[in-house]
A and B are shown apart, each in its own frame.
Chain A
Amino acid sequence: MLGIDIGNNQINILNLKRKRGKWTVTGSAVISYGKDQQVESIGKKLLNIIGKQGWNKRDAVISIANKPCFVKRLEVNEVHTGTLSRAEIDNLISKAKNSLVASAENMVFDIWQPRLSHIGNRFALIGAAQKSSILFARQLADYCGLKLKSIELRPVAILNGLMNCWNNAEEQNIAVIYKDISRFVVAIFDNLGLVSIQTTPIGSGDANDDANQILRIFNTIKLKSDSSLPNRIFLSGISNTEFSKWENDLGAIIAHNTSMEVTTCDTDLDIAWQADNSDHAPDFAGALGAAFDGVGASPVSFDFLHIKEKKTQDNKNNSHTTLLIAIILLSMLALILWISIVGQRKSTIRRLEKDVANSEPLKTQVYDAQSHWVSCMKYIHEAKGGSRLEYLKVLYEISRRMPETDKAYLTNLSVYTDKNENGYNVKLTVKATEATLITELIESLNKSDKFKDIKQDGARTHDETDTFYPISFSVTFNLNRPPAIKPYPKGAE
């Protein structure tokens, strides 16, 4: 795990591994940089070091410089067993923003709660980091191809890097002071854990001035809660030649002015150093703390890579995006379903239209055949299915229905297959011996099932010159025939 500690003018890097049950620093390096240097130039140097050291696994945690530092313990409204509610997070961030002297717009907030803490989650630590610092760390990690696990506040990382020094202290109220080139980091613990971390600029270099500044911080704590005042102070700092003298002077002043015990923690006996610059181990407190963050071994940790404030926003955005995608997918599904249903029905309509169109020629052919057949039926013999009228049968029926020749005989017979212009099929003109034969003939013809509408046509005449058949009359009637089949009309649908 790479711990990368971005200081004000240099970057400390180390690689932390677990070897034989002990945390081991397998290598370390320092990159100096000016304030105007870009991510690319620093990134190149970092890549160069990573390549030289042969750190293949590029899991890393970066600690970012913070000035001023803001880490405070705030009381939550309700005791939580799980994670904080959205409202509680918003409330805490709002409180933290109000506490900040600097503009909160450029800051990003993160909240940390110990999971199984004896404080019972009644408090939460809230930290703030500058947006520009987070962006710089992200860009650097991207440039170097690092698998960034989290981004930590540098003071918190330093505190974590020194944890083997203060973590086993007998007192519950302690202070951890780390001296950088230009700032102190002052962390204060009470019986409920970390109270706050503050940074303060180093004054003239005089231990008295620095001691006064530190004591002012303690007084502030004392004013807020007397029970949080530390009993022991752990001192540490960068390993330059002036530090030892300053450390001794400061320790003596504080011990003299207060009843606090002062302990220095120059070296960390629990960490194995395989690196060349093991003499400068305190310089790498931030990098070590960052690496501890990465392996989950640090007692306090923020994560400004996955900050709760932004993460929640991301979640909201993600949930909105998911909802939007779901709606789009559902809409597309509905559209596809709709197109499929409509397409199926339109396809059925097209198929039916095609079937109808294909049937038309056959229909025309059949109807033409029917039309032709009906037109020709009257020429076709009945035995062949036609309706041709057989005249001999008509003559035979008339002959059968006529009176005896001694009483009457035909002088004219007209037969029309279709009714003539006067509206009948048959006309008989008869000469008879007496008038009563007219009725007799009509009655006889009426008995035939082949004839109908039998009636006398005009008046009878009496021919005086004909001795035997003086009476002359005409009878008309129609032929009983099956109704004609109507041909299918041409061109009709």
Chain B
Amino acid sequence: MALKKRNILILPIIIIIAFVGYFTYKKCTEYLEKLEHEINQKSLEYSLIKQEIDDNKVYEEKWDSIKSFMNELPGDRMNNYGDFLINLETERNFDLQSTPEEVPIPANEEMQEIVFKLQFTSTITDLAEFLGRLDSEQNKLLQIKSMTVNYHGKSFRPGYSTIDKNEDKELVVDLVLATPAKAVESEENDIKYGGTLLP
């Protein structure tokens, strides 16, 4: 009788222990799987970051090779490039009119563009030389953003080219040049350099 009573007590205890054991096992397994999943995610994230860093490491070297201009003050850079353009124009005796201005680059808050709007009249030869000089300046960060050339000479006649033989400056050229510079951080710079190219 006592044995039966004990068995009656033991049976539900075993069932409860089995249930609690199964529940605990399930929860533990779930928790371990969650941790494993988290480890996999973090590993993947870290691998991707490493891969991206490795893939883009080359840009660091490239940027290091050109980034010295970021140490220049925008005003100094404007003057330097202004001087460079004046020299080119002086060589060709261009009647240069230029308007420099600082324009922000939307995609990059740390930089801006210094834009030089040039207008002059030229012969075709001088223009070609001028463009050739600009194009060949490999070490300068320089871009011709646009160019408009208008011929306002005499009308052509077949077999006779005024451009080839006439020394007159019959081409009116509008040229927009740009170079990158460090973004202006204070109004002081704007006031100091005034946003105009010195003649």
A residues near B (Cβ < 8 Å) are: 338, 341-342, 345-346, 348-349, 352-353, 355-356, 359-360, 362-363, 365-367, 369-376, 378-381, 383-385, 388-393, 395, 405-407, 409-418, 420, 431, 433, 466, 468-469, 487-488, 490
Q: A369-B62, A391-B147, A414-B147 are in contact. List 15 more A-B contacts (CB 8 A).
A: A342-B32, A348-B39, A356-B45, A356-B49, A359-B49, A366-B53, A366-B59, A372-B110, A378-B143, A393-B135, A411-B150, A413-B147, A414-B148, A417-B144, A490-B109
User: Which residues of B are in contact with A by a Cβ distance under 8 Å?
Assistant: 28, 31-32, 35-36, 38-39, 42-43, 45-46, 49-50, 52-53, 56-57, 59-60, 62-67, 105, 107-111, 128, 131-132, 134-135, 137-139, 141-151, 155-159, 161, 178-180
| Whole-angstrom CA separation of A362 from B141 in the bound complex | 26
Contact A376 B141 (CB under 8 A): yes
Q: Is the beta-carbon distance between A373 and B62 smaller than 8 angstroms?
A: yes
With A379-B142, A469-B155 as contacts: A369 and B59 at CB distance below 8 Å? yes
The 6 closest A-B CB pairs, nearest first, are A352-B42, A370-B59, A369-B63, A379-B141, A406-B158, A381-B138
Residues of A within 8 A of B128 (CB): 392, 395
A sample of 22 inter-chain contacts (CB < 8 A) reads A338-B28, A345-B32, A352-B45, A366-B53, A367-B56, A370-B59, A372-B63, A378-B143, A380-B141, A385-B62, A388-B135, A388-B142, A389-B144, A391-B135, A393-B135, A405-B158, A415-B144, A415-B146, A468-B155, A468-B156, A487-B107, A488-B56
Q: B138 touches which one: A371, A383, A490 (CB < 8 A)?
A: A383
With beta carbons under 8 angstroms apart, the residue of A356, A366, A406, A466 that contacts B60 is: A366
Give the distance in Å from the alpha carbon of A345 to the alpha carbon of B128 in the complex: 69
Set of chain B residues within 8 Å of A360, measured between Cβ atoms: 49
Once A359-B49, A409-B156, A431-B156 are accepted as A-B contacts, the answer to whether A379 and B59 lie under 8 Å apart by CB is no
CB distance from A37 to the nearest CB of B (A): 42
A375 and B111 contact, CB distance less than 8 A: yes
The distance from the CB of B3 to the nearest CB of chain A, in whole angstroms, is 12
- Number of A-B pairs, beta carbon distance below 8 Å: 160
Contact residues in A for B31 (Cβ distance below 8 Å): 342
Given A345-B39, A366-B60, A369-B63, A359 and B53 touching (CB < 8 A)? yes
For the complex, give the distance between the alpha carbons of A198 and B193 in Å: 132
Is there an interface contact between B28 and A346, defined as CB atoms closer than 8 Å?
A: no
B28: chain A residues within 8 A (beta carbon): 338
A411 contact set on B, CB distance < 8 A: 150-151
Q: Given A345-B39, A392-B131, A416-B146, does the pair A379, B178 have CB atoms closer than 8 Å?
A: yes
